[in-house]
Structure 1
Amino acid sequence: MFAALPLGQALPLSVIGGLLFALSFPSPGWWFLAYPAVACLLLAAMGQRARRAAWLGLLAGATFWLPAISWAGRYLGPVPWFALALLEAALFAVGTVAIALAYRWVARVVPSTAGRVWGLPAVVAALWTGREWFSGSWPYGGFAWGRVGLSQSQGPFTHLAAYVGVFGLSFVVVYCVAVVVSLGLVGGVRLPMRIATAGLLVSAVLAVPAWPTAVQGTVRVESVQGNGPAGYFDRAQPGDVLRSQVAATDVDARGVDLVVWPEAAAEYDPRREPVIAGALDAVVQSVGAPLVAGAVTQTSSGVLHNTSFVWGADGWQASYDKKRPVPFGEYVPDRWFYSKLAPSLIGLLQRDYTPGTKPNVLPVAGIRAGVMICFDVVDDGLTADLARGGAQVILAQTNNADFDGTDENLQQLEIARMRAVETGRSLVNISTVGASQVIDPDGHTIDRVPAYTATSMVTDVPLGTSTTPATVASGDVTLVLSLGGLLVLLACAPWRRGHR
């Protein structure tokens, strides 16, 4: 049995684990701290009763989430920041309870040393992965930030995302840490054997080769970071952001196949605004290449969309309307209810975007480009849709101006890096203000521009042709792991009160 630590030891471990986990994300982005962070959190939860585990998990979750997403309060103040952080901390607490019970219940059913070293950690890692999946799905589509796998964008396990996806990578990391923790606690194993076993496990995982991503040809992309007043509270006049983008576009660049602007860089629908259409025509004619830009569009019935569109020599050619608008950012769910709770905050959000239905892969410049609009990049389903839709390159258009001076843009960039590896596709991350980079299918940066600078970069971007295992099966793997961990936990539960 794995004995529970006294509160005087478990409580500081929860705090230390949460803080270390926060530091594993940008900034500073010290990915290696995720390992001791998970170890501390597992040790704190191990064997605890449900109520104490819940409080320890809530403390650990708050210690992690409050600093990790401090950018959420950049403009709207502490209320939305604290609300989101504490909600996620509560979900973290639920996961901690499940893990604490696993160390009590599963360990009782599997008393052998091998079972406790190899089998129990698999259940623990599956429960951790299931909690990440749930918090990324609920409520209102969830908040998929803060996963263990996303912290590893610069680490030695990054390449595994092409095999098992981000959720699968979370499982691998937590499993390895849980095995090492078990090796340190179980009896009957000599120290040299413990060290050798842990070393062999890590070596075996690191020995998995990078997925052989196949590329065929390149497309020359001019990515334009206008650095205009694109923030919600920048008090920009209509046309200011558009003019910034036009001014930053290098119309003398040679051999460009495709120009990419960020999210909402064209501001409004050029089919309704002749001035905007004229500006886009001038760019397309000067560069001699089609433009992929973003704008707020409105249907004849008044429905608003956050849209990415292709503009060519003949005007509007194709478009994608964002399928998963961000709750409390791009629309307010149950507005009648939240308006009563925080009328001044909800009143600031006047526009409600409607989810789109079009595919997120667009034909442009003779290729198929997958499009991600801002937080699309953290959505696993949309990522899979890109690869299955035949995207050869990913264009991640975003507007980070509302988070000026925070870590949000750096965290989003590292999520984009993981998506490039997961899909085996080059990814152009182009922001209104930064961080703007071009990332190859192996996760390496091949081009970048300084943040908060009006400029552009012209890059020969490799076109991907292979299909990674993650894009085919990662969703199924996540489902199997999540349900499997929960079912094993329930199967091992002492349903008769006398055996609890």
Structure 2
Amino acid sequence: MIAFLRRPFPLYVALPLGAVGGLTLSAAFPEPGLWWLAIPGIALIVWSLIGRRWWTALCIGFIASLTFWLPLIDWLTLYLGLVPWLALAGVMTLWMTLWALLASFVLSNAHRLWSRPGMQFAFVPLVISGLWVAREGIASVWPYGGFSWGRVAQSQADGIFGHTVSWLSTAGLSFLVVWIATSLVVLVRLPAARWLWAIPAAVSILAAAIPSFPIQILGTTRVGAVQGNADAGLFSGYSPGEILSDHLNASESLVGKPVDVVVWPENGNDIDPLRDETSAALIDDLASRLHAPIVFGTITHPTPDEYFNSSLVWEPGVGVVGQYDKIHPVPFAEYMPERDFFHSLVPELVDLVTRDYGFGLRSNVIDIAGVPMGLSICFDITDDQQAYDMARDGAQIVLAQTNNADFGHTDESLQQVAIARLRAMEMGRTVVNISTVGLSQIIAPDGSILDSLERFTAGAMLVDVPRSATLTPAMVWGRTIEVGLSLLGIVGFTLVVVRTFQAKRRASLFPDETEDRPNVRQE
């Protein structure tokens, strides 16, 4: 049985094995969110790539990637249909397929560089995991700002390894999970693994047992977070002021209660109070009765040609005292890159994006009620660099404002909340994840849920949230960790390529020599 497992599977077995691996990995994310499935899912994908020629590695990688991405982001189909879903899944699939091609080459040729089984176990999982981190890192920022969704670490908010993100960063946590999965595959293939099995077991136990990085709590701030249950979707037929009214009404339960700051979600006010006196008067009246500033999302329009997805800080009796404009608008949703080109392909979809939001230049940290707070709008919460900027600029609380109305009862908001929880643990900060329609949660620095509002209900949360200025290792060294692990994979792959070409060149020059290599049939 063990000998059978050590041989490459026939292609007719490897293809469905890779597909099952992709589906299994997808199931590690909400929903169902079975975090532990990330390890067997990745292991099945890696296993299916053993002994492959480049074209079969591409086929298997493509199938495994599609079966991962298509179910993960099927929430795109709710209002936008098949084309955006297939397009985004297709782009992300190309990145993952490239990783599969490189990983397959390493699996098939690493013995040329590391001939001893112990050396193969020591280096092959490191290289493959490093290449995975490089793939996640590049896809998160390019093209058009990337799509930092579906990273393996983001499946681990509920898992036994999730808390290690405060030490390792998001990239490091992804590396850990992929390393464990790949190590198990490599060990199964080694003829004399024996005590080496203890190493991934020991690493797993150590990672599960190590406590989160210690956080110093400076005090608490009483935060009110309002979910208006507003019909704020792209295709909603709301009348002007309806979304504002929904959040004004949902905020009434906070009036008369001690509160330091009240936060509404992205697009919580559909009428820009900088340009409309009635909107400004309604906001100021509520802020005066709350005796607290209100932080709310709105679309600002400072010039005839400029629009920003903004978060405004309104002081009672004063007006706007702070503003954050979304730094990275979402391509194909908040702005249309290469509009003429894509219009020639799918004009009906491009025409849905009626305006192009500008790229904000303001700091994402604002002093609110005497406390520096980080502001995040929608997918900002997935952006590592914005988290690093918040930590560097002293944010003690993160207000993550979002509008999930376009995604209905799909898994999108559940996945986003899981990302917010991981970010809270990574930063060592309270994250107030507040949505127009939910799921809204106030998350403590250790990832625990302090309060929540279910989806499609109006209401308000009022919580004394912990404040912290502690810089976790993830915030100090996160980018260095990501680059270092990526280079580990790239350099390791390069060394395998060089050694493989050297070996093949020598074999062509001296055909009578036999190469010391395992009996691996490639298909």
TM interval, short-chain normalised: over 0.9
* Residue of structure 1 equivalent to 2:127: 123
* Residue of structure 2 equivalent to 1:138: 142
* Residue of structure 2 equivalent to 1:350: 354
In the superposition, the TM-score normalised over structure 2's length comes to 0.93
Whole-angstrom CA distance in 2 between matches of 1:316 and 1:365: 13
* Residue of structure 2 equivalent to 1:199: 201
Whole-angstrom CA distance in 1 between matches of 2:217 and 2:276: 39
Match runs of 1:275-286 below 5 Å: 275-286=278-289
Whole-angstrom CA distance in 1 between matches of 2:201 and 2:491: 30
Matched, 1:167 2:171: yes
Contact 1:266 1:293 in 2 (8 A): yes
* Residue of structure 1 equivalent to 2:444: 440
Contact 1:253 1:458 in 2 (8 A): no
* Residue of structure 1 equivalent to 2:326: 322
Q: 2:104 pairs with 100, 103, 124, which one?
A: 100
SS at match of 1:265: coil
SS at match of 1:75: helix
* Residue of structure 2 equivalent to 1:212: 214
Whole-angstrom CA distance in 2 between matches of 1:194 and 1:432: 51
Q: 2:248 pairs with 243, 246, 249, which one?
A: 246
Whole-angstrom CA distance in 1 between matches of 2:81 and 2:370: 46
Contact 1:176 1:202 in 2 (8 A): yes
1:214-256 Cα distance to aligned partner (Å, 9 max, x none)? 1111100110000011111111111000000000002424110
Whole-angstrom CA distance in 1 between matches of 2:111 and 2:446: 39
Tell which structure's C-alpha radius of gyration is larger: 2
Matched, 1:83 2:83: no
Contact 1:105 1:489 in 2 (8 A): no
* Inter-CA distance 152–253: structure 2 relative to 1 (3 Å threshold): farther
* Residue of structure 2 equivalent to 1:410: 414
Contact 1:5 1:48 in 2 (8 A): no
**332-341 or 134-143, which moves further after superposition?**
134-143
**45-54 or 441-450, which moves further after superposition?**
45-54
* Residue of structure 2 equivalent to 1:297: 300
Matched, 1:257 2:260: yes
Whole-angstrom CA distance in 1 between matches of 2:72 and 2:97: 17
Percent of pairs identical after alignment? 40
Whole-angstrom CA distance in 2 between matches of 1:432 and 1:253: 23
Whole-angstrom CA distance in 1 between matches of 2:56 and 2:395: 48
* Residue of structure 2 equivalent to 1:231: 233
Residue identity matched to 2:242: D
Q: 1:426 pairs with 414, 425, 430, which one?
A: 430
Give how far 1:312 is off: 0.4
Whole-angstrom CA distance in 1 between matches of 2:370 and 2:212: 29
In the superposition, the TM-score normalised over structure 1's length comes to 0.97
* Residue of structure 2 equivalent to 1:485: 489
Whole-angstrom CA distance in 2 between matches of 1:381 and 1:360: 11
Contact 2:244 2:271 in 1 (8 A): no
Give how far 1:359 is off: 0.5
Aligned residues: 498
Whole-angstrom CA distance in 2 between matches of 1:205 and 1:294: 39
Contact 2:254 2:460 in 1 (8 A): no
SS at match of 1:306: strand
**134-143 or 239-248, which moves further after superposition?**
134-143
Residue identity matched to 2:365: V
* Residue of structure 1 equivalent to 2:511: none
Aligned alpha-carbon RMSD (Å): 1.5
Match runs of 1:178-197 below 5 Å: 178-190=182-194, 193-197=195-199
SS at match of 2:431: strand
* Residue of structure 2 equivalent to 1:47: 51
Give how far 1:46 is off: 2.1
SS at match of 1:406: coil
Give how far 1:425 is off: 0.3
1:69-120 Cα distance to aligned partner (Å, 9 max, x none)? 0011111111110111112111110010111111123332011222111221
SS at match of 1:390: coil
Give how far 1:301 is off: 5.0
Whole-angstrom CA distance in 2 between matches of 1:35 and 1:189: 20
Ranges in structure 1 where 5+ consecutive residues have no aligned partner: none
Residue identity matched to 1:212: P
Give how far 1:300 is off: 2.6
* Residue of structure 2 equivalent to 1:309: 312
1:136-166 Cα distance to aligned partner (Å, 9 max, x none)? 1221111111111111010000111111211
Give how far 1:308 is off: 0.6
SS at match of 1:85: helix
SS at match of 1:495: helix
Whole-angstrom CA distance in 1 between matches of 2:168 and 2:220: 27
1:298-340 Cα distance to aligned partner (Å, 9 max, x none)? 1235211000110002001010100000001100000010000
1:274-316 Cα distance to aligned partner (Å, 9 max, x none)? 0110110111011110000011001235211000110002001
Contact 2:35 2:156 in 1 (8 A): yes
Give how far 1:499 is off: 6.5
* Residue of structure 2 equivalent to 1:458: 462
Give how far 1:194 is off: 5.0
* Residue of structure 1 equivalent to 2:501: 495
Whole-angstrom CA distance in 1 between matches of 2:249 and 2:43: 51
